[in-house]
């Protein structure tokens, strides 16, 4: 079903499948190619179908597959985040809140509570939106996407997952199974901030994620990523390099913020001008660095 000009609605046959295994899901996706779409929460694909943006003939509901619902943490290997795990499960998880607070913050920002009970972090990633909140939060954590397909499995760094607005590296027949996040290093933490026109349930004007590892008063490692200011979620390596190996002070924070601003390429739209959004990039980057640094210091005391 999708809308046409003039408000008319056209109907087409839609097949629904709910496989119990990754292999079964891949088989269905491979068989129907571009006409098949995975259904994790449905909060994006159903809206797109109603708007006539996508016209799948097969929806493959993956919420019954155990691997795609897994949410487990190990102190050595890190976090396994199933692609269909709901946002509410992520931000309410004790280990996520303790070890990856920036990811918890990002998951909590997606839609309303009702949406968060359906929407998945994996679905947010696969939607390929430049303004996705959880994608920058995953990028700064060095997350990798575990993908299954007709030719077996592969892993892709999350910063390389989105190609352009609405497009990802997923090929016909492939399925995002899990997001793998390394265990946090000692004295490290993260933060995610965004600016929206309303108090809630809006698309970001700018989003900024930061992850830091501290060594005393110096930064041992740093990663910065941005949302809504480029054709895809943006990993800003130069912003991290402006901090790494340096004392965490006003000068190094300002240098990182400037690198983030320089890397961003926002557009003018209904949410703000490009000039304004570049300014906000600097503001949010500085704030996120300070929050992540304070959390990293507290983690070192735990």
**Statement: residue 147 has pLDDT above 80:** yes
Instruction: Give the pLDDT confidence score for residue 1 in this predicted structure.
Output: 47
Q: What is the mean pLDDT of residues 114-142?
A: 92
Domain that holds residue 236: 188-193+204-301
- Domain with residue 173: its CATH number is 3.30.465.10
Question: Considering only CA atoms, which of 166, 163, 159, 157 is closest in space to residue 44?
Answer: 166
Q: What is the mean pLDDT of residues 105-132?
A: 89
Q: What is the mean pLDDT of residues 16-31?
A: 94
% of the chain surpassing 70 pLDDT: 94
- Looking at the structure, do residues 279 and 245 belong to the same domain, yes or no? yes
Other beta carbons within 10 Å of 65 = 24
**Statement: residue 121 has pLDDT above 60:** yes
Q: What is the mean pLDDT of residues 177-187?
A: 97
**Statement: residue 149 has pLDDT above 90:** yes
Confirm whether 4 is domain-assigned: no
Confirm whether 85 is domain-assigned: yes
Instruction: Point out the domain boundary residue: 125, 149, 181.
Output: 181
Tokens 């985040």 belong to 81
- Looking at the structure, do residues 296 and 210 belong to the same domain, yes or no? yes
- Higher-confidence residue of 216 and 47: namely 216
- Looking at the structure, do residues 154 and 94 belong to the same domain, yes or no? yes
- Looking at the structure, do residues 75 and 24 belong to the same domain, yes or no? no
Number of domains in the chain: 3
Confirm whether 5 is domain-assigned: no
pTM of the complete model: 0.92
**Which run of H or of E encompasses 208?**
strand 206-215
Confirm whether 1 is domain-assigned: no
- Looking at the structure, do residues 79 and 176 belong to the same domain, yes or no? yes
Chain segment 25-41, per-residue pLDDT in tens = 999 999 998 888 888 87
Q: Residue 230 to residues 163, 207, 245: CA-CA distances in angstroms?
A: 11, 11, 28
Instruction: Give the pLDDT confidence score for residue 58 in this predicted structure.
Output: 86
**Statement: residue 191 has pLDDT above 90:** yes
The residues, ordered by sequence, that sit 6+ positions from 199 with a Cβ below 8 Å of its Cβ are none
**Statement: residue 161 has pLDDT above 80:** yes
Is the Cβ–Cβ distance between 190 and 103 less than 8 Å?
yes
- Looking at the structure, do residues 98 and 174 belong to the same domain, yes or no? yes
- Domain with residue 53: its CATH number is 3.30.43.10
Confirm whether 46 is domain-assigned: yes
- Looking at the structure, do residues 29 and 83 belong to the same domain, yes or no? no
- Looking at the structure, do residues 46 and 85 belong to the same domain, yes or no? no
- Domain with residue 219: its CATH number is 3.30.390.50
Confirm whether 89 is domain-assigned: yes
**Statement: residue 100 has pLDDT above 90:** yes
- Looking at the structure, do residues 210 and 163 belong to the same domain, yes or no? no
Confirm whether 3 is domain-assigned: no
**Statement: residue 286 has pLDDT above 50:** yes
Is the Cβ–Cβ distance between 68 and 178 less than 8 Å?
yes
**Statement: residue 183 has pLDDT above 50:** yes
Instruction: Give the pLDDT confidence score for residue 87 in this predicted structure.
Output: 94
- Looking at the structure, do residues 177 and 215 belong to the same domain, yes or no? no
- Looking at the structure, do residues 177 and 247 belong to the same domain, yes or no? no
User: In whole angstroms, what is the distance from residue 115 CA to residue 127 CA?
Assistant: 15
- Looking at the structure, do residues 77 and 142 belong to the same domain, yes or no? yes
Kindly state the DSSP code that residue 147 receives in the 8-state scheme: E
Strand partners, 115: none
**Statement: residue 19 has pLDDT above 60:** yes
Chain segment 71-82, per-residue pLDDT in tens = 999 999 999 999
Mean pLDDT of the chain: 91
Instruction: Give the pLDDT confidence score for residue 37 in this predicted structure.
Output: 87
Instruction: Give the pLDDT confidence score for residue 49 in this predicted structure.
Output: 79
pLDDT-wise least confident of 51-60, 138-147, 204-213: 51-60
């Amino acid at each position: 079903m999708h809308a046409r000009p003039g408000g008319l609605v056209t109907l087409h046959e839609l097949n629904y499948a709910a496989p119990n295994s990754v292999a079964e899901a891949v088989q269905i996706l491979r068989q129907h190619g571009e006409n098949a779409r995975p259904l994790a929460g449905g909060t994006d694909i159903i809206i797109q179908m109603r708007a006539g943006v996508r016209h799948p003939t097969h929806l493959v509901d993956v919420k019954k597959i155990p691997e795609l619902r897994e949410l487990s943490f190990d102190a050595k290997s890190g976090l396994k985040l199933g692609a269909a795990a709901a946002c509410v499960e992520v931000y309410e998880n004790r280990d996520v809140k303790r070890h990856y607070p920036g990811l918890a913050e990002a998951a909590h920002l997606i839609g309303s509570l009702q949406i968060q009970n359906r929407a998945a972090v994996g679905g947010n990633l696969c939607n390929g939106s430049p303004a996705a909140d959880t994608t920058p939060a995953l990028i700064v954590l060095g997350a990798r996407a575990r993908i299954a397909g007709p030719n077996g499995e592969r892993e892709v760094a999350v910063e390389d997952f989105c190609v352009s607005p609405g497009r990802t590296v997923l090929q016909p027949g492939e399925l995002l199974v899990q997001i793998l996040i390394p265990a946090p290093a000692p004295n490290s933490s993260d933060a995610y901030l965004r600016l929206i026109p309303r108090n809630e349930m809006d698309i970001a004007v700018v989003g900024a994620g930061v992850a830091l590892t501290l060594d005393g008063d110096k930064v041992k490692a740093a990663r910065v990523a941005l949302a809504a200011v480029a054709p895809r979620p943006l990993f800003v390596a130069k912003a991290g390099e402006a901090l790494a190996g340096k004392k965490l002070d006003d000068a190094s924070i300002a240098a990182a913020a400037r690198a983030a601003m320089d890397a961003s390429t926002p557009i003018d739209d209904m949410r703000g001008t490009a000039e304004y959004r570049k300014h906000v990039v600097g503001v949010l980057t500085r704030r996120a660095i300070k929050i992540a640094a304070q959390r990293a210091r507290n983690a070192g005391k735990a």
